[in-house]
Amino acid sequence: MALATVAAALLAALGGTLWLAARRFSGPRGQRMQGSRDRSAMHGKTVLITGANSGLGRATAAELLRLGARVIMGCRDRSRAEEAAGQLLQELGQAGGQEPNASEGQLIVKELDLASLRSVRAFCQELLQEEPRLDVLINNAGVFQCPYMKTEDGFEMQFGVNHLGHFLLTNLLLGLLKSSAPSRIVVVSSKLYKYGDINFEDLNSEQSYNKSFCYSRSKLANILFTKELARRLEGSNVTVNVLHPGIVRTNLGRHIHIPLLARPLFNLVSWAFFKTPLEGAQTSIYLASSPEVEGVSGRYFGDCKEEELLPKAMDESVARKLWDISEVMIVVILVQKSPSPKSQSAYGPQERASKWNWVVAHLLMDNSVTPLEFALWAWPCVFGFTILGPRPCPQRALPGQLCLCAPLGVSACPPETLKGNKA
């Protein structure tokens, strides 16, 4: 009897494995591969890929390199990136029957930590000095469902890396992309955007943190960012599109804890059902290199085809507001400040409870003010704020001017506004 049970269990396990293996090799996960195209399709083009040392970024880099591109790998860990670059060149050499480095494509490793605005700025400064052109920017790097952590600048990690770091990166490189036009920006989002919301009152998850919601919110932010950027880039010959890659077997799940004993099963299931990185990277490669999407902008793709978005990912006013807030966050952000006794008196109980210690600012007006213009008066404004403490927000007090407002109505405004508002 016992023998029969063991035999049945073994048979079931074998059958299950065979079924999974059959799925692995027959499933329709692999949409058409972009890799069969002309080997010099990207010759003369410079492509920057963030997070190119692993998963989808690595596979995208390999393929674009194969197509002849000069690929810049923007990675946070130089040694991991150099190791990946060495492997890529070797694989390319082996595949092409050539010596590594002998192919037309070129691979460059540069340090870029999207969890540090200082690192993003330093990276861009170097890139702008060294690179005469940039044809494709692929915002690929990402963090998935990590425990509550903050970036160097005090942002919740998933929002900070997946959205804000890329927001700054893209804005700093826009000039070069425009001067290299026709050029492309490709944003890697996720279908999980559906479960996110842009809750402006707690963008930094100070009040509560849910790792799934925050990942989804950051991916929704990727889509809204793409929509708003496409609008701003109309007529510039720089396109921007966003994609979801499907579920792909990469290192993205590193923060998901799986009990040791269950790991083999999860590995088997992910092996059978998930896409390989090369399969998952096809839409990135397509949007970066295919002539089919020349001039196409502001669209959402999966499996190399345009897909529909939920209304919340197409809301122009939310996209604009997110842009404005992000712009101010990256310029001003670190007005790291604990409320002084004086400023505490200006808070209601709810505000005090939120322990407001940095300014989440937003543009009150829809007037477009460049970061440079903003920076010119941001510091005097912050200075005024520090002296006078938070003031009630004089909503639209000075038409055409910009005010910084904390989420709960506490404001740091241009000095004139503060003066006019003094009690």
Ligand X SMILES: CC1=C(/C=C/C(C)=C\C=C\C(C)=C\C=O)C(C)(C)CCC1
Q: Which does 213 bind (CB under 5 to 8 A by kind): ligand X, ligand NDP, none?
A: none
Rounded least distance, CB 140 to ligand NDP, Å: 5
Q: Strand, coil or helix: what is 411?
A: strand
Considering the complex, state which of residue 119 and residue 190 has its C-beta at the smaller distance from ligand X. Answer: 190
What value, to the nearest 5°, has the Cα angle with vertex 70 and ends 91 and 45?
Answer: 130
Q: Which of 67, 72, 89, 115 binds ligand NDP (CB under 6 A)?
A: 115
Q: Find the binding residues for ligand X in span 179-208 (CB under 6 A).
A: 190, 192
Alpha helices in 209-340 (DSSP H): 211-232, 263-273, 277-280, 282-289, 316-332
Pair 116, 151: CB distance under 8 Å: yes
| Given 195, 209, 215, 347, the catalytic residue | 215
113 binds ligand NDP (CB under 6 A): yes
Site string for ligand NDP, 7-46 (x = CB under 6 A): ----------------------------------------
The question of whether 195 is a catalytic residue gets the answer: no
Nearer to ligand NDP, 42 or 112 (CB): 112
> Out of ligand X, ligand NDP, none, which partner does residue 177 contact, by CB within 5 to 8 A per kind?
none
Q: Which of 143, 164, 93 is nearest to 330 (CA)?
A: 164
CA separation for the pair 188, 232 (Å, rounded)? 19
Q: Select from ligand X, ligand NDP, none the partner in contact with residue 256, using the beta carbon and a kind-dependent cut-off of 5 to 8 Å.
A: ligand X
Q: What are phi and psi of 188, to 5 degrees?
A: -95, 110
Contact criterion met (CB below 8 Å) for 160 and 118: no
Q: Does 134 bind ligand X (CB under 6 A)?
A: no
Could you tell which of ligand X, ligand NDP, none binds residue 60, using a CB distance below 5 to 8 A set by kind?
A: none
Residue selected from 19, 148, 200, 266 as contacting ligand X according to rule CB under 6 A:
266
| Cβ 17 to ligand X shortest distance, Å | 17
**Cα(322)–Cα(318) distance, integer angstroms:** 6
Nearest alpha carbon to residue 226 among 153, 140, 300: 300
- Find the helix or strand (DSSP H, E) in which 160 lies: none
By CB under 6 A, name the one of 8, 9, 256, 310 that touches ligand X.
256
> Stretches 75-83, 91-99, 291-299, 320-328: which one binds ligand NDP (CB under 6 A)?
75-83
How far is residue 121's CA from residue 373's CA, in Å, rounded to a whole number?
18
The helix or strand, by DSSP H or E, that contains position 240, with its residue range, turns out to be strand 238-244
Asked if residue 324 lies in contact with residue 362, where contact means CB atoms within 8 angstroms, the answer is: yes
Q: At closest approach, how far in Å is the CB of 350 from ligand X?
A: 34
Q: Does residue 294 interact with ligand NDP by CB under 6 A?
A: no
Decide the pairing of beta strands 404-405 and 410-412.
antiparallel
Question: Which listed residue (53, 250, 284, 289) binds ligand X by CB under 6 A?
Answer: 250
Nearest residue (CB) to ligand X, 35 versus 253: 253
Among positions 226-245, residues that touch ligand NDP (CB under 6 A) are 244-245
Cα separation, 413 vs 390, in Å, equals 9
Q: Is 53 in the site for ligand NDP (CB under 6 A)?
A: yes
* Nearest 10 degrees: Cα torsion 116, 120, 126, 127: 150
> Which residue, chain included where needed, has tokens 């900070």?
160
Listed in sequence order, the residues at least 6 apart from 231 whose beta carbon sits closer than 8 Å to its beta carbon are 298, 316, 319
Choose one: 155-163, 206-214, 246-254, 344-352; the region binding ligand X (CB under 6 A): 246-254
**Rounded CA gap, 127 and 224, in Å?**
26
Closer to ligand NDP at the Cβ: 75 or 360?
Answer: 75
68 binds, among ligand X, ligand NDP, none (CB under 5 to 8 A by kind): none
Rule CB under 6 A: say whether 105 interacts with ligand NDP: no
Q: Is 185 in the site for ligand NDP (CB under 6 A)?
A: no
The span from the first CA to the last CA of the chain, in angstroms, equals: 88
Q: Which residue, 76 or 244, is less far from ligand X as judged by CB?
A: 244
Q: Hey, how many other C-beta atoms are within 10 angstroms of the C-beta on 26? A: 8
| Cβ–Cβ under 8 Å, residues 364 and 399 | no
* Residues acting as catalytic residues: 215
Q: Which residues bind ligand NDP (CB under 6 A)?
A: 50-51, 53-57, 75-77, 80, 112-115, 140-144, 161, 188, 190, 244-245, 247-248, 250-252
Q: Which residues bind ligand X (CB under 6 A)?
A: 144, 190, 192, 247, 249-250, 252-253, 256, 258, 266, 270
